[in-house]
């Protein structure tokens, strides 16, 4: 079916059908925020570019705020956080062109093509590409996503619930699968707080005098917001943006946030 734009009522239906609680044991395991993932279960934590995108956030943060990132220590710290290279999230798709790892990830490709817009240098992109190859050799699996992009909205999710990105609908002419991009902000923030603590503890960063792990967490959060907005305006311009908030019981609200 052709791409459709999802209204608030459509998002209510999608969330009702596609919500699942976060598993404590896997809450720091991630996926990319793109909508092509077909199979459940999926990690609840969704972030632009998956784990490689998260490393790009750290590297851009160091570049913006003037602190040093020890790249291999940072990667080792990240791998310790997620339980090893086998848990490092990467994906490509059936339309991928090029030999790079995760070549079919639209979010990572935007960083590779427009590094300056994401605050990341070409040298850092080369480092990131080499780290992707390292984790693949160490057991990271590159998931192949099939099918077209059919995203009809962008979701920012808050709370202890995940959202599957695909939904079988009969609401539109030519009923079929619709997709959403999902950014799980609560889990991203929680992982960044622990990542910041471990980076300072392990020497993965060398912060400026007077700066601590809380400062690192706050700057990571600012860069994450920048990367999220830069990504969606490049890959899904014109789509509606919704904030989905869950309470502890799983009840949720949907708030319109304008258009990407």
Structure tokens at 221: 């959060």
What whole-number distance in Å separates Cα of residue 168 and Cα of residue 245? 22
The answer to pTM > 0.85 is yes
Q: What band does 11 get if pLDDT is binned at 50, 70 and 90? A: very high
Least confident piece of the model among 38-42, 75-79, 230-234:
38-42
Distance of CA 246 to the CA centre of its chain: 19
Which residue shows structure tokens 């509606």?
A: 240
User: Is pLDDT of 172 > 60?
Assistant: no
Residue 148 has a pLDDT of: 79
Q: What is the DSSP string of 191-260?
A: HHHHHHHHHHHHTSEEPPTT--HHHHHHHHHHHHHHHHHHHHHHHSTT-EEEEEEE-TTS-EEEEEEEE-
Tell which wins on pLDDT, 201 or 94.
201
Q: Where are the domains of the chain?
A: 8-259
């Amino acid at each position: 079916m052709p791409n459709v734009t999802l209204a608030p009522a459509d998002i209510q239906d999608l969330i009702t059908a596609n919500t699942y609680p976060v598993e404590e044991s896997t809450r720091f395991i991630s996926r990319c925020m793109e909508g092509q993932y077909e199979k459940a279960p999926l990690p609840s934590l969704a972030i632009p570019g998956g784990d490689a995108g998260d490393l790009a956030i750290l590297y851009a943060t160091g570049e913006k705020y003037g602190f040093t990132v020890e790249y291999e220590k940072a990667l080792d710290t990240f791998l310790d956080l997620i339980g090893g290279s086998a848990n490092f999230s990467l994906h490509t798709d059936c339309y991928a062109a090029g030999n790079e790892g995760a070549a079919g990830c639209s979010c990572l490709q935007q960083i590779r093509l427009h590094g300056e817009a994401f605050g990341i240098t070409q040298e850092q992109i080369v480092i990131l590409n080499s780290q992707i190859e390292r984790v693949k050799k160490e057991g990271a699996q590159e998931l192949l996503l099939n099918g077209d992009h059919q995203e009809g909205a962008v979701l920012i999710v808050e709370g202890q619930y995940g959202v599957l990105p695909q939904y079988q609908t009969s609401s539109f002419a030519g009923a079929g699968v619709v997709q959403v991009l999902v950014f799980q902000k609560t889990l991203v923030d929680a992982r960044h707080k622990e990542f910041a603590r471990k980076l300072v503890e392990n020497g993965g960063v060398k912060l400026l005098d007077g700066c601590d792990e809380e400062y690192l967490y706050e700057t990571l959060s600012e860069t994450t917001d920048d990367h999220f907005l830069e990504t969606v305006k490049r890959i899904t311009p014109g789509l509606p943006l919704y904030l989905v908030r869950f309470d502890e019981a799983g009840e949720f609200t949907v708030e319109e946030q304008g258009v990407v």
